[in-house]
Amino acid sequence: MGQITLQGVQKSFGPVHIIKGADLDISDGSFVVFVGPSGCGKTTLLRLIAGLEDVSGGKILIDGKNVVDTPPAKRGLSMVFQSYALYPHMSVRGNIGFGLKMAGLPKDEINRKVEAAAATLNLTPYLDRKPRELSGGQRQRVAIGRAIVREPKAFLFDEPLSNLDAALRVQMRIEVTRLQKQLGTTAIYVTHDQVEAMTMADKIVVLNSGKIEQYGSPLELYEKPANLFVAGFIGSPKMNFVTGELALQRGAATIGVRPEHLRIERDGGGGWQGTIAVAEHLGSDTFLYVDAGPLGMLTARYIGELSLHAGDRVSLLPDPARIHRFDASGNALRG
């Protein structure tokens, strides 16, 4: 079991409030991603759950039990660090088995469990190597092995893929997701990369300056962002925001349209008109950055190739069903 509940969790370092009261309910077996810009407090929140930092207020419940005064090792969680934090003088076997050895398990049981974990992660040929003799991806897997071997209630991942190159990151992303589904263990994953968040998560927590902005499934966040911050943070390229007369016509202070929900027409009047400043042709997609005069710069996305170039005039027609409306304080208006 690994149900984790946060109730009014706060953290401040001196006068600086890092976490300003977080409430969250993470159900057993789900994959939850904390995402937000750097400095938003996502890593701090993870470390509070891990027990590596003490909370300044509020409760952290694991399976219904308040653990704020429980030392990290007794919380039954395991963590994968950004730097992997492997023990450099121990072999892979020693690294994976260290937690079990500290728990005082008999030697043959440790060996059995370490070998099982190594087999899951394709690390068997490397068991007797030192971390410095491994590649980045292999080290990453050792760090994950160290986490799974203890059969924790939940895994905590602190930006584990940020030290890998792009291709390996995509591969490890899939491996981590598959492993988590296979084991059925709760996982909390911190990242600043919204693509990782969207692809891996069952549910995403969007954090901004110490506050939870929204908690929901990836598609909920994409389709019904709760406020301007979430709307701008989730989705790539960024959502277009328009203020002023056009927004007021629709009874909002700001309206937002995603680039993929703008229909692109060669200048024929109607819609929002502008001149293409930059056109990016990726083959699979075409991104147009359009200077729309009083509306500012707008981004439009076309699936497939579109033979338009910088300097061409275009009209952009927003899909009326996909226009997001926000009030003056940035909260979404529904209905």
> Binding to other proteins by residue 82, rule CB under 8 A?
yes
In the list 26, 55, 77, 316, the residue contacting other proteins (rule: CB under 8 A) is 77
Both tokens of 34, joined, read 């904390």
- How many residues lie near other proteins (CB under 8 A)? 24
CB of 27 to other proteins, least distance (A): 23
Min separation Cβ 74 and other proteins, Å: 8
Residues 6+ apart with CB under 8 A from 233: 35, 36, 37, 194, 206, 208
The region of 86-94, 118-126, 186-194, 281-289 touching other proteins under the rule CB under 8 A is 86-94
| Residues in a beta bridge with 278 | 289
Q: Is 81 in the site for other proteins (CB under 8 A)?
A: yes
Closer CB to other proteins, residue 114 or residue 198? 114
- Cβ distance to other proteins smaller for residue 36 or 160: 160
- List the interface residues with other proteins, window 141-170 (CB under 8 A): 146, 150
Q: How far is CA 322 from CA 119, 168, 214, in A?
A: 47, 35, 19
Window 236-255: residues binding other proteins (CB under 8 A): none
What the block records as the tokens of 101 is 């050895």
**Does residue 87 bind other proteins (CB under 8 A)?**
yes
Q: The dihedral of CA 82, 85, 91, 94: what is its sign?
A: negative
- In whole angstroms, the minimum distance from the beta carbon of 184 to other proteins comes to 21
Rounded to 10 degrees, the C-alpha dihedral 98/102/106/110 comes to -20
Nearest approach, Cβ of residue 79 and other proteins (Å):
5
Reduced 3-state DSSP string for 79-130: EECCCCCCCCCCCHHHHHHHHHHHCCCCHHHHHHHHHHHHHHCCCHHHCCCC
**Nearest alpha carbon to residue 285 among 230, 236, 251:** 236
The residue from 78, 138, 140, 186 that contacts other proteins (CB under 8 A) is 78
Which one of the spans 94-102, 114-122, 246-254, 262-270 is the region binding other proteins (CB under 8 A)?
A: 94-102
99 binds other proteins (CB under 8 A): yes
Element containing residue 219 per DSSP (H, E)? helix 218-223
Residues, the chain, total?
335
Buried-exposed string 168-199: b where 16+ CB fall within 10 A, e elsewhere: ebeebbebbbebbeeeebbbbbbbbbbebbbe
Cβ proximity to other proteins, 1 vs 103, nearer residue: 103
Applying CB under 8 A, among 98, 215, 272, 326 the residue interacting with other proteins is 98
Query: According to the binding rule CB under 8 A, does residue 282 interact with other proteins?
Result: no
* Binders of other proteins in range 15-74 (CB under 8 A): 50, 52, 71-74
Cβ 242 to other proteins, closest distance in Å? 45
Closest by CA to 236, choosing from 19, 35, 68, 7, is 35
Site for other proteins, rule CB under 8 A: 50, 52, 71-74, 77-79, 81-83, 85-90, 98-99, 102-103, 146, 150
